[in-house]
Structures are given as structure tokens and as C-alpha cells.
Amino acid sequence: MASAHDKAVLQAIFSPTTPFGDIPGLNQEEELTDDDSSFDPVLLKQVKDLELKGISAAEAGDVKTALHHFNQAIQILPSRSSAYNNRAQAKRLQGDTKGAIKDLEQAISLSKDKGRSACQAHVQRGLLLRLACRDEEARADFERAAALGSEFARQQAIILNPYAALCNRMLSEVIGKLRNPEMPDMQ
């Protein structure tokens, strides 16, 4: 069985864009959940059913119906963050980026920046900000989502970190020289 150090070395060789010693999944937190215990169980079930219908409609390409279901879920339990995340995706599919970001900010606020909804909202907002070339804000969202346990967000934060990119490039060059010592310097 390989030690953590051995795994880190192999990770550096086969995936030189990640920092040395950073093994994906090694420190990943357990599955995130939202604390829905404060909601009436009957209303919560109703809202979850509406969200599932909305997700199914969105996956089928019927964004208008999806939005209708998400809006109903929000009307029933306006202080639950999950439906805002889902509605943000539907708004994004419609091209309403500002509306999507507003819903994601609401989801983060309602979740008190904890749990699955906060993690997803930070990832989604980070992606939208990155598409808008607002990389510093996107990196902050990815870092927060990574702290909440998102492996994808951790990778995105590394990609957007200029210092990490420089270190990774240098490490790639070193590994390249170790693989092929005959190779001339690329400077």
C-alpha cells in the first residue's frame, strides 16, 4: 500500500497542475447537507417535490415550467436556500445572469454560508463571475466552496491563483527534466 507521500509524488508526476502533496479527495469533507430541521416537514416535502419537478423540467428543456416550480417552492418556504440555487440555474439557462447571481447571493445569505446550498451557490456564482472575466471575485467564491468541501471548486481556485500557476509550471518543468534529462532548457 502506498503512503501519503508516495501518493503525493505520483500525483505530482501524473497531474503536474496540482500543487505537490495535494491529493484530490484525501482531505475532502463528508457529504454536505443543509439543515432543514427548522422547517415544517409537510411543507418541506412539498417544496422538495416541487424542486424535483423543476429540475426534471429544466433537464427536459422546459425552463419556463422549471421556473414556475421553483417560484412555487420559494413562495411556500421563502427562507430555504435550495430553491434559490435551482432557480438560479434556470435563470442562467434563460440568459438572465444578473437574476441568477441575485438568487445565488440569496441562497448564500439564507444558508448562513454553510452546508450544501452555500457550497453549490459559491461554485455557481464563481462560474458566472469567471465567465464575466471577474477572476478575483470568482477565485474568492471557489475558495469558499473549496473550504466547504467542493473538490471542483478547489481545482478552480488553484487554476485562478497566479502564484500556484507559477509554482505548478516550475514543478512541471522540473518533472519534465527528470523524465527526459537530455532535454535542453526551454528558456
183 domain-assigned: no
Cβ atoms 77, 44 nearer than 8 A: yes
7 domain-assigned: no
- pLDDT band at residue 158 under the 50/70/90 scheme: confident
8 domain-assigned: no
Question: Grid coordinates standing for 88?
Answer: 438560479
Distances (CA, A) of 169 to 156, 161, 162, 183: 16, 12, 11, 16
Q: To 5 degrees, how large is the angle CA 144–CA 30–CA 10?
A: 85
- Residue 146: is its pLDDT beyond 80? yes
Residue 100 CA to residue 38 CA, distance in Å, equals: 26
186 domain-assigned: no
The whole-number average pLDDT for the span 121-134 is 93
Domain that holds residue 91: 36-160
Cα dihedral 133, 102, 146, 127 in deg (nearest 10): -30
Upper half-sphere CA count for residue 87 (Cβ side, 13 Å)? 26
Instruction: Indicate which CATH number applies to the domain containing 50.
Output: 1.25.40.10
Lowest mean pLDDT among 87-96, 132-141, 165-174: 165-174
pLDDT of residue 13: 47
Concatenated DSSP letters of 22-65 = --TTTSPPPPP----TTS-HHHHHHHHHHHHHHHHHHHTT-HHH
151 domain-assigned: yes
- pLDDT band at residue 101 under the 50/70/90 scheme: very high
Domains in the chain: how many in total? 1
Cβ atoms 70, 50 nearer than 8 A: yes
The C-alpha cell 503536474 sits at 16
pLDDT of residue 22: 47
- Residue 26: is its pLDDT beyond 50? no
- pLDDT band at residue 29 under the 50/70/90 scheme: very low
20 domain-assigned: no
103 domain-assigned: yes
126 domain-assigned: yes
Cβ atoms 160, 135 nearer than 8 A: yes
